Amino acid sequence: MTIDDTTHVDLGPIPLVDLGAQQREIDSEVREGLDAIFARTSFIGGPAVAAFEQDYALFLGTRHCIGVGNGTDALELALRASGVAAGGEVIFPANTFVATAEAIARIGAIPVPVDVDPEYLLIDPTAVEEAVTPNTQAIMPVHLFGQTAFVEALEPIAAGAGAAIVEDAAQSQGATRFGRAAGTLGLAAGTSFYPGKNLGAAGDAGAVLTGDDEVAARVRMLGDHGSAVKYSHEVIGMNSRLDATQAVVLRTKLTRLAAWNERRREAARRYGELLAGVPGLTLPKSADGNLDVWHLYVIRLDDRDRVLRALNEAGIGAGMHYPTPIHLTGAFAHLGFGPGSFPVAEEAAGRILSLPLYPHITPAQQEHVADRLADSVRSARTGRPSG
């Protein structure tokens, strides 16, 4: 079947992410691990958490992985442990999930959004350099859609400003840049194990990654009520620890992550072939030096909202990541950046469309998505309903 066919095989609904297929693959192993947790009643910390932390740090090639309650906490703890304090400025890209900015604001620091490059929609180093002030305490690149940001271009800027690089690695588990893993390129990184991530838990979970022993120790202290020794509370911390039950799920999935990421790359290549002839589409591609893990497959097109509605009505779980840049949300209107402040991010927000992509998606499902997308695009361009 090709995008030129006018008939469509009914494959049923095609979700944006199919977590059920993952769960069926790992079910017996997870249940065995959970049985051990309940037998030991070691629900907070314990050997399951320690084993996952060790395995994930080894997988990425860093010294420390500290499991925490969720990805937003991970970003906040990474920032705090890296020296960001109330009143300091943190530069980040305008086109990210709100958690990036929330983590900055929760510290009492000042979120400073900047624009992104037009090709990959990653933080623009030139914009970062222009945004640096004497009050800049950190630069937070976001490894968006499964790519790795151009951290090497940010390093001299951060060094000149005396600022830390703290990565938002929530969408990039297993991605690399010139052979180095996303999440290991700065002083620290926060990642999310929200169920839909490339490495997802069975609920909320996250981790801080760092190669710095002092940062790691501070993260552990801050995430355990500011206490390195029981009942001795040195600073005001928070309660954010990885549950042992989630560690079991994550450790089981981690053994398959490299293979699942390769399946994602195969699916991305297939979309590229299927959609190459559709007029009006801007297809994603990998930057030189990047090995992407395709957390999302994000195309750009005109009349996006009409096409999105048509796909959803056809049972295809397309979506948008993200429809509103941070500076245009109500939560961050107080920053004072109106429409036109970051034109690349704003233009992209009106044209981006995420297609279903996950390790277990089949070629037939992708062909169906491509067919319906092509029909919807033609209909949007001609004004005639798709056939």
Catalytic positions are 197
Q: Tell me the C-alpha distance between 203 and 208, whole Å.
A: 17
149 and 297 Cβ atoms separated by less than 8 Å: no
Q: Tell me the C-alpha distance between 2 and 8, whole Å.
A: 10
Phi first, then psi, for residue 51 (nearest 5°) are: -65, -45
* Residues of the chain by 3-state class (helix, strand, coil), percent to 5: 45, 15, 40
43 and 244 Cβ atoms separated by less than 8 Å: yes
109 and 166 Cβ atoms separated by less than 8 Å: no
Pairing, β 180-181 against β 176-177 = antiparallel
92 and 100 Cβ atoms separated by less than 8 Å: yes
Respond yes or no on whether the N-terminal peptide bond of residue 297 is cis (omega within 30° of 0). Answer: no
**Residue among 73, 16, 29 nearest 202 (CA):** 29
Q: Tell me the C-alpha distance between 59 and 172, whole Å.
A: 13
Q: How many residues does the chain have?
A: 387
Q: Tell me the C-alpha distance between 22 and 227, whole Å.
A: 37
- Please return the burial class of 371, using the count of CB atoms within 10 Å of its CB with bins 0-12, 13-18 and 19+: buried
Q: Tell me the C-alpha distance between 40 and 360, whole Å.
A: 34
